Amino acid sequence: MMMNNTLRNQFKFLPGHVIKGKWNKNTYKVIKELGCGANGIVYLAENDRQQLVALKLSDNGISIISEMNILKAFSKVQGSVLGPSFMEADDFVVNGKNMPFYVMEYIKGEGYLPFIQKKGQAWTGVLVLQLLSSLSALHKQGWIFGDLKPDNLIVTLPTYKIRCIDVGGTTLIGRSVKEFTEFFDRGYWGMGSRKADPQYDLFAVAMIMLNSSYPKRFSRKEGGFSQLKEMMEQKKEFTPYKAILEKALTGKYLTAEEMRNDMAHVLGRHSQKKSAPAAQPTGKPAATRQARRAQSKQITRRKPKYAFLETFLLILIVSLLYTLYIYGQLL
Amino acid sequence: MKPGTLRQILLITDGCSNQGEDPAAMAALAREQGITVNVIGVMENDVIDDKGMQEIESIANCGGGVSQIVYSQQLSQTVQMVTRKAMTQTIQGVVNKELQQILGNSVTMEDLPPEKRGEVMEVVDELGETSNLEVLILVDTSASMKLKLPTVKDALLDLSLSMNARLGNNQFSVFVFPGKKNDVEKLLDWTPKLEVLTRVFPKLTTGGITPTGPAITEALDYFNKKRSLRGLLSHDDEQYFEESI
Ligand SMILES: Nc1ncnc2c1ncn2[C@@H]1O[C@H](COP(=O)(O)OP(=O)(O)OP(=O)(O)O)[C@@H](O)[C@H]1O
Ligand SMILES: [Mg+2]
C-alpha cells in the first residue's frame, strides 16, 4: 500500500502534544506513534483519566469513518474479545483543517510472528486454538474478520491471549470483503470467492499457520490447491495438522468450531505422546502444556536419562520464575 | 435511497499519449455524461516521467475519478482499490447533494458531528455494496507495455473477483489501444465476468503510438450505444447517479 507521506510529515505529533476533540472536548496526550497505515497514523496516548488508549488520526475523513463504524459494530459483538473496544470519535482541528480521529482500547503485547519466533513453533497450535474460539463467536454474530494475518494479531502479555488490531476488514456474512492481504486471501489463490463466509476466515487461519513456517511467505506460481499443498508438505512440522490444513484450505469446514475441535484433538494427542508420564497439573491452560512440549522436544535429542532430569529442572525453574513474575505483577 | 448504476472508465497505461485529441478534455466530457474516469499508471523497471505523471493526474481530475501510479506487482490491489474509491466518491457526491437539500447549501458530510457522519457513511457503504456497476476498461498496448500485459490480465481477473462478491450487478467491457487496424479495438463486449479474458487477452503489443484521447472517445461512444439500446428496450432505467455527479 502507498504510504500517505503528506499526512505523515504534516501531522506528525511529537510526544507531549495534546489532541483535543472539537465536539466532545476530551483531550489526549500523545505518548508515541504506534504505527502508520494507509488510512492514518495510530498514536499511543493518555486520556483525561491517565488511561492509555490508541488514537487513530487521519486527514481523509471517508475511509476512517467506515473503519470506525466497523469498530463500533465489532465492539458490540457480544463475547468477542478479539478486537479493541471502541471509545469515541471526534475531530481535531489543526490550522483550520478538520482531522477526524477515533479512540480505542490500547492492546499491549507482541506481534504474532515475533512472538512465535521468540517462543517457538509450539505456540502456534495454542494461539490458533484461541483464535478459532474468538472467530467462532464472531461468526455466530454474523460477521467475519476478513483481513486476518499475523500483522493484525497481537499476543498480549502476561496473559498470552491472542487479540486482533485493525478490524477494517470485518465484513457482514454475505457481503464482499473489501480489505484483504493477498497471501491470506482465498481469492488470490484461486480457492474461492471474496464473498464473506466463515470459510473465508478459516482459509486465512490455515495460511497464518503456513506463514509461521515460511516467515517470508511465498508468491503465487500456478496457484490453486496443488501449490499450497506442496508448500505444506515441504515442512515436516505440518504433518500432524495435514488433514486440518487441507480441510481449511479447501473450505470443507463449515464452522470455526469444527476446525477448533480437530485442532484441539491433534494438540492433545500430540502432547500426550511426547510428554506422557509426567503428571498433568489439572486445570492448567493448554498454553503451559505446549511450552513444556517445546522444551522436552529439544532435549530428547540428547541422552534420555539426563533429559528427564533436565525437563524436571526446567519446569521447576520456569515455575519459579513464573511465580516470581506473578508476585511482581501483584506488587 | 435506491441503488442505481455507477459508470466508470478505467484506463491502464504507462505513459503519455502521443496521438489524437487531449485525453483530459475527453475525460471532462465523460464526466459531463455521468461517467467517471480512473487512471492507473503501471511501472515495471521503468519509471513514468513528469509529463506522463501530469497527464495521468489531469485525466483523472477532469474525469472526476481517482489516479494511482504503481509498480506492476501491486496492480491487482490497486485496480480494486481505485475502482472502489471512485465508487465511494460518486456515491458520496450524491449523498452530499441529498444532505444539502435537507440541511442547506454548503453542508457536506465532513460538517456533521462524528455520530451522524458515521450513520451517513453506513448509507454510502450500503450503496457501494448494492449498486450496479459498469466498468469499461481501456488497456494501453503500446510497445512499452509488452512485459506488463500478463500482470494487467491478472489484475483484471482479480477485479472481476472482487466486484462479483458484491450484491450489486456488474458489467465489464475491455478495449485495447492502439488496435491492430484502428486506434482502438474492442476485445470484450459487456459481460458480468472477466474469466473469458484468459483466452482473448493479447500477448503481443501493437506499436509505438499511444492514442489515449481517441480511446476515451471510443469508450464514451460505446457507453452511449449501450444506454440508447437500453432506452429502446426499457423505459424504467433510472439514471440516478449520472444526474448527480
Ligand atoms: N488498538 C491498538 N492497540 C495497539 N496498537 C495498535 C492499535 N491499533 C493499531 N495499532 C498499531 O498501529 C499500527 C497501524 O495500525 P492501522 O490499523 O492504522 O494500520 P495498518 O493495519 O498498519 O495499515 P492499513 O491501514 O493499511 O491497514 C498497527 O500495525 C499496530 O502496530
Ligand atoms: Mg488498517
Decide which of 1.10.3720.10, 1.10.510.10, 3.20.20.450, 3.90.1150.10 is the CATH code for A109-272. Answer: 1.10.510.10
Mean pLDDT to the nearest integer, A214-228: 94
Residues of A in contact with B76 (CB under 8 A): 182, 188
User: Confidence band (pLDDT; 50, 70, 90) for A73?
Assistant: confident
Between residues 146 and 165 of chain B, which touch chain A (CB distance below 8 Å)? 158, 161-165
Q: Check CB contact of B166 with chain A, cutoff 8 Å.
A: yes
Residue with cell 459483538: A77
Residue of B95, B117, B119 for testing the chain A interface, max A β-carbons within 10 Å = B117
pLDDT of A278 reads 38
Q: Are A223 and A163 in contact (CB under 8 A)?
A: no
d(CA A292, CA A270): 12
Q: Indicate if the pLDDT at residue A31 is higher than 80.
A: yes
Ligand 1 is surrounded, with C-beta below 6 A, by: A 1, 34-35, 37-40, 42, 54, 56, 84, 104-107, 165-166, 168
ipTM: 0.91
Domain spanning A5-105, CATH architecture: 2-Layer Sandwich (3.30)
Helix and strand numbers (H, E) in chain A are 10, 11
Residue among B68, B114, B166 minimizing CB distance to A100: B114
- Kindly give the pairing relationship between strand B132-140 and strand B5-13: parallel
pLDDT tens figures, A118-166: 998 889 999 999 999 999 999 999 999 999 999 999 999 889 999 999 8
Q: What is the pLDDT of residue A322?
A: 56
> Which residues in chain A (92-131) have CB-CB distances under 8 A to chain B?
98, 100, 102
Share of chain A above pLDDT 90, in %: 63
Give percent above pLDDT 70 in chain B.
93
pLDDT (tens digit, 9 = 90+) per residue, B141-179? 999 899 999 999 999 999 999 999 999 999 999 999 999
Question: Which run of H or E residues covers position A177?
Answer: none
Cross-chain residue pair B109–A98, CB shorter than 8 Å: no
Domains, chain B = 5-234 (3.40.50.410)
Instruction: Spell out the residues 6+ positions from residue A213 whose beta carbon is closer than 8 angstroms to its own.
Output: A121, A235, A237, A238
pLDDT at A266: 94
Q: Which of A1, A62, A89 shows the shortest C-beta gap to B88?
A: A62
For the sheet containing A52-57, what is the strand order?
A18-20, A27-36, A41-46, A52-57, A97-105, A86-94
CA-to-CA dists, residue B196 to A194, B80, B153, B192, B201, angstroms? 19, 19, 11, 10, 9
Q: Which residue is it, cell 505513459?
A: B15
Predicted local distance difference test score (pLDDT) of residue B127? 96
Cβ neighbours of A78 (radius 10 Å): 7
Q: What is the pLDDT of residue A269?
A: 80
- Is residue A177 within 8 A of residue B165, CB to CB? The reply is yes
Which of A176, A179, A185, A219 best tests the B interface by mutation, with the highest count of B CBs <10 A? A176
- Four-CA torsion A133, A136, A137, A141, nearest 10 degrees: 170
Would you kindly state where each structural domain of chain A is located, as residue ranges? 5-105, 109-272
Higher pLDDT among residues B50 and B241, named by residue: B50
- A108, A157 in Cβ contact below 8 A? yes
Cell 473489501 -> residue: A178
pTM: 0.85
Q: How many residues does chain B have?
A: 245
Please report the pLDDT score of residue A9 as a whole number.
60
Q: Tell me the C-alpha distance between A153 and B52, whole Å.
A: 40
- Mean pLDDT, chain B, integer: 90
Residue with CA nearest ligand 1 atom 29: A35
What's the confidence (pLDDT) of residue A310? 55
| Active-site amino acid positions of A | 147
Residue of chain A minimizing CA distance to B116: A65
Residues 61-120 of B with CB under 8 A from A: 68, 70, 76-77, 84, 88, 92, 109-110, 113-115, 117-118
Calculate mean pLDDT across residues B206-218: 91
* pLDDT score for B110: 82
